[in-house]
Amino acid sequence: MANRGWQFDLCLTIALNVRVIRIDDPPFLFSTSCKLMDGSQMTGQPETTTAGALPPDNIDEVTSELPVGIRADFSPVTQSQDVQRTFKRIIEPSHFGSYQAQEAFDSAVKAADEGDEEGAVEHYLNASNLAETAREWYIAAVACQRVGDFLRTPTPPFDLERAFRMYRRAVGAYHNCGLYAEARELSYRLMATRMKRARELRIPWWHRLELFAFWAIAGFGYRPLRVVASAIVFVLCYAMLYWSIDGITSSVTGTQITFQHAVYFSGTTFSTVGYGDFVPAPHAQLIALTEAALGSLTMGLFVAVLAQRLNNS
């Protein structure tokens, strides 16, 4: 009954004080001023919001820049800040966290524009904490990513390990709100930064080689087409090797081995097909064995990377 009571008071207040309400253009805009339940005035002209750009309609579209400001997902669908303040006073307390997260994010953006990096980091951390509590995952993701951007720069405040942790939290938040493309790009960026700054992170040299190979062959597991390109490069390199050392013999006597034959033999060996019309020469059998093993690993890697991409799309 208490919930119905304030709803009835709200409807009665609006009915008695609002003269004209335009409903032809969503969201609803109050064309005249009205008096709120607490006695304050609400003007009818919509103000320009400082929330900034909303997420793109196409969630697979990845932009190079983060949005300057964002709107909380559970905030009222309106452009008037006066209407937002009205709803803030009458909505359920469980939604207050969304407003607090958005206000903290706006404060962080303002501090960053003024050049106060430490203040911006503090506000972004507050925004991400409030957003995670309120399950505002998009605000949490962008705020955590902003903190990571500040912390990984050489100027204070500098904390590379903490920046990586914030990036990982941002990736998880992007996943929670269904923005898989942004999560993939940020994960790729995180791995690339880890590879480039391996000395600062004191990563062993063998792990650096592993990271480089993983980047070159599969784009850290986020680039299926790079695996295909790597397979083509492997086939051509082995073909040049076979052709240069006369490592191929034909089952048909008198066949002149050309580079085209070498590419054909390399491709069938890499894909482990082996038709039998061309076979490796005795001194090239070990090379053919390594290519077949490499081909099996590459095809398995392609299936894994593609499955991960399709699972998060």
**How far is it, in rounded angstroms, from Cα 220 to Cα 149?**
20
Average pLDDT over residues 245-273: 88
* CB-facing half-sphere around the CA of 71: CA atoms within 13 A: 17
287 — pLDDT class (breaks 50, 70, 90): very high
* Average of per-residue pLDDT across 223-232: 94
- Average pLDDT (108-126) is 87
Residue 270, pLDDT score: 95
For 103-113, the pLDDT digits (tens) are 888 888 888 88
Whole-structure pTM value = 0.63
pLDDT at 281 exceeding the cut of 80: yes
Structure tokens at 207: 């792990």
Q: C-alpha 218: how far from its chain's center?
A: 18
* pLDDT value of position 212: 93
Structure tokens at 154: 């050489």
Domains and CATH numbers, the chain: 46-196 (1.25.40), 224-311 (1.10.287.70)
Q: How confident is the model at residue 303 (pLDDT cuts 50, 70, 90)?
A: very high
What does R_g of the chain's alpha carbons equal in angstroms? 30
Q: Which helix (H) or strand (E) holds 251?
A: none
Q: Which residue shows structure tokens 């790597």? A: 230
Could you report the per-residue pLDDT of 10-67, keeping only the tens digit for each?
444 444 343 333 333 333 333 333 333 334 444 433 333 333 333 333 333 333 455 6
Query: If you search the block for the tokens 């059998």, which residue do you land on?
Result: 285
pLDDT at 20: 36
Candidate ranges 80-89, 127-136, 152-161, 259-268; pick with highest mean pLDDT? 259-268
Question: According to the model, what pLDDT value does residue 225 have?
Answer: 93
Q: What is the pLDDT of residues 142-154, one digit of tens each?
A: 999 998 888 888 7
- Give me the pLDDT at residue 296, please: 94
